[in-house]
Amino acid sequence: MSYDASNPFAKILRGELPCFKLFEDEQTLSFMDIMPQADGHCLIIPKEPAETILQLSEASMVACIRTTHRIAHAVQKAMNCGGIQLIQFNGAIAGQTVHHVHFHVIPRYEKTPLAIHAAQLGDMDKIKRQAEAIVAAL
């Protein structure tokens, strides 16, 4: 597999596509998922170009986990959810729909099923408000 620099997350990193940014450091970027499976669903990506964790450097992997941990705490606080689900897919057969390494932080709520992965655009105004709440909780 070769990395496709035209994927949406690479475009977000280059500023060619917008996002609801939550957090950024030298190695990672976190932003809201615009096709959320639950209220407060967000993503963490490395700045390193890699399609799967098998192609990602150890340093970037550690940075992603550090950011995922930080974002999960903020999501828990901001969204007042009962739990947090962390998901990471590698390859289309495993469910990966954007071929740039990414980690999902998905709040879970009592008696609320998840929406289908990557199936429908969310309400952008609602996502923006959730992003603001998560940023305030960081």
The residues carrying an active-site annotation are: 102
DSSP letters for 33-84: -SS-SSTT-EEEEESS--SSGGGS-HHHHHHHHHHHHHHHHHHHHHHT-SEE
Q: Which residue is associated with the tokens 């655009």?
A: 121
The residue type found at 8 is: P
